[in-house]
Amino acid sequence: MSTATAQRPEVRKDDSMLKQKVMMAAHYDRLTSAKETGRKVASTFVPGNLNELVMCFDLLNNLPEVNAIQSGLRKQSGGYVMEAEKLGHSEDVCTYVKSDIGMMAKGNVGPNGKSLPAPDVLLLSYTGCFTFMKWFELLREQYQCETIMLHTPYEGDGKITANMRDYMVKQLKEEVIPTLERVSGVKFDIDRLREYLRESVKAEEDLVWVLQSAKNRPSPIDAYFGGIYYIGPIFGAFRGTPEATDYYRALRTEVDARVAAGKGPVTPEGDMGEEKYRLVVEGPPNYTSFREFWKMFYDEGAVVVASSYTKVGGVYDFGFRHDPDHPLESLADYCLGVYTNRNLPQRVDMLATYVDEYDADGLLINSIKSCNSFSAGQLLIMREVERRTGKPGAFIETDLVDPRYFSPANVKNRLESYFQMIEQKRSGRRAPAAPVAAADTGGVGGAA
């Protein structure tokens, strides 16, 4: 066993990554010791995560999606998914859900090896993913705890209206806040919320700066594989905290230094080589073979300069910031604007804008086998972005945390074909070979 470990190359980690690791460890320790410390726990989702509000009630924020991702990265999710299937969940159900259900069935052990607490309240923030609702129904059945449904109207027409905002604020005032007060026993203080929101804005500013640094050539970051790390604190239980502010400030300084040095992204194997392809990616990554998947990109000199996945927990790069002066309204706008709540034309707009603004070679879609909500329409998105930008698109299929749906040889084959297609498009037109007429029939045939 020690030989296998010894042969593995040392994984390169930046200071910001180490900092985040410490933050995450502290977070899971807080959660797993909640019973001893007497803290109460709310469970909620990344898209529409109202972390500042949750903190106003001294509640700890537990995110089942993040737990599923952690299980995927730690190669635990395969077993959990199968456990959930044993309990009767179909092969086609979202694998985040099955990983979570399977994890509960096997003792709900978190990344620190200790059991995660049962939630005191389920805050279902519904933002475009229908599965979320079913998922929390299952959790409610399991935990028999208070459940709040915050309904975010879908941006079917591609815009946020005053009515939509009012409707959300009304729910916050009449449903969400009173229930959280009752569960937690803590009185809501709007000034406390304003304070957290003020902190959020600082982190949001730096996050946007970091994401937009990918407009440089070479890009100092990978906005998909690296981006997964960058969104960790702000999409999870840290938005609105000074730790998040510090993290993003440190990250920005780090990236700034890379820009100044003309360096590309950091990969698990160190600095990336020459930047050959710049891609925009739609869809989540595969977490069970995350490193292997990433390697298929950086080995070929492909860097992701923008991705929609890093917007599922909040879209900040088109100007939205949490607003301490209009706290509830800005929470409403935040939920309404997350990527999962946007309609197809908005997603097309966003992706086409990224291809143009980040000077990308094209759009790559990683379609998720078990995600019916977001896989629908992705081919149309690809074609439309191709049409608008004139840049070629490509389509691969994997899964979130079910290792059975990651077929490396085939994914690699498609990716390499795509990169070569880009290469060919760039220069091939200059000197096309003149075709011959239907194959020469000279010779008496080989050994056939």
Determine the interface stretch with other proteins among 103-111, 184-192, 201-209, 427-435 (rule: CB under 8 A).
427-435
For residues 126 and 122, give the distance between their C-alpha atoms in angstroms, rounded to a whole number.
12
380 contacts other proteins (rule: CB under 8 A): no
In the complex, least distance from residue 369 CB atom to other proteins, rounded to whole angstroms: 6
Q: In terms of DSSP bridges, do strands 40-43 and 393-398 run parallel, antiparallel, or are they unpaired?
A: unpaired
For residues 346 and 431, give the distance between their C-alpha atoms in angstroms, rounded to a whole number.
38
Cβ closest to other proteins, residue 253 vs residue 417:
417
Determine the interface stretch with other proteins among 124-132, 179-187, 347-355, 407-415 (rule: CB under 8 A).
407-415
For residues 134 and 163, give the distance between their C-alpha atoms in angstroms, rounded to a whole number.
27
430 contacts other proteins (rule: CB under 8 A): yes
417 contacts other proteins (rule: CB under 8 A): yes
For residues 234 and 313, give the distance between their C-alpha atoms in angstroms, rounded to a whole number.
8
Beta bridge partners of 266: 271
295 contacts other proteins (rule: CB under 8 A): no
Q: Are 74 and 214 in contact (CB under 8 A)?
A: no
Determine the interface stretch with other proteins among 9-17, 87-95, 130-138, 408-416 (rule: CB under 8 A).
408-416
For residues 402 and 288, give the distance between their C-alpha atoms in angstroms, rounded to a whole number.
7
- Retrieve residue 300's tokens: 């070929």
Contact set for other proteins, span 115-144 (CB under 8 A): none
74 contacts other proteins (rule: CB under 8 A): no
Q: Which of 261, 379, 387, 390 binds other proteins (CB under 8 A)?
A: 379
161 contacts other proteins (rule: CB under 8 A): no
107 contacts other proteins (rule: CB under 8 A): no
Cβ closest to other proteins, residue 79 vs residue 392:
392
For residues 382 and 376, give the distance between their C-alpha atoms in angstroms, rounded to a whole number.
12
Q: Are 132 and 45 in contact (CB under 8 A)?
A: yes
Cβ closest to other proteins, residue 87 vs residue 379:
379
8 contacts other proteins (rule: CB under 8 A): no
274 contacts other proteins (rule: CB under 8 A): no
What backbone torsions phi and psi does residue 270 show, to the nearest 5 degrees? 100, -165
In the complex, least distance from residue 149 CB atom to other proteins, rounded to whole angstroms: 34
90 contacts other proteins (rule: CB under 8 A): no
For residues 29 and 3, give the distance between their C-alpha atoms in angstroms, rounded to a whole number.
32
Cβ closest to other proteins, residue 158 vs residue 390:
390
Long-range pairs for 13-22 at CB < 8 Å and ≥24 separation?
14/254, 14/266, 15/250, 15/254, 16/229, 16/247, 16/250, 16/251, 16/254, 17/229, 19/246, 19/247, 19/250, 20/229, 20/232, 20/233, 20/247
Query: Which secondary-structure segment (H or E) carries 368?
Result: strand 362-368
Determine the interface stretch with other proteins among 35-43, 59-67, 245-253, 392-400 (rule: CB under 8 A).
392-400
Cβ closest to other proteins, residue 24 vs residue 396:
396
Query: Going along 75-225, which residue ranges are E strands?
Result: 121-126, 146-151
Q: Are 297 and 267 in contact (CB under 8 A)?
A: no
In the complex, least distance from residue 98 CB atom to other proteins, rounded to whole angstroms: 17
Determine the interface stretch with other proteins among 39-47, 86-94, 111-119, 409-417 (rule: CB under 8 A).
409-417
Q: Which of 140, 151, 202, 425 binds other proteins (CB under 8 A)?
A: 425
Q: Helix 225-235 vs helix 290-298: angle between axes, to the nearest 10 degrees?
A: 130
In the complex, least distance from residue 238 CB atom to other proteins, rounded to whole angstroms: 35
Cβ closest to other proteins, residue 6 vs residue 434:
434
Q: What residue type is assigned to position 192 of the chain?
A: R
376 contacts other proteins (rule: CB under 8 A): no
113 contacts other proteins (rule: CB under 8 A): no
Contact set for other proteins, span 223-262 (CB under 8 A): none
Mask: binding to other proteins, 342-371, rule CB under 8 A, as x and -?
---------------------------x--
Q: How far is CA 260 from the centre of its chain?
A: 28
Q: In terms of DSSP bridges, do strands 302-307 and 59-62 run parallel, antiparallel, or are they unpaired?
A: unpaired
Q: What residue type is assigned to position 292 of the chain?
A: E
Could you tell me the maximum CA-CA distance found in the chain, to the nearest angstrom? 91
92 contacts other proteins (rule: CB under 8 A): no
436 contacts other proteins (rule: CB under 8 A): yes
26 contacts other proteins (rule: CB under 8 A): no
Contact footprint for other proteins (CB under 8 A):
369, 379, 383, 386, 392-397, 405, 407, 409-411, 413-414, 416-417, 420-421, 423-425, 427-440, 442-448
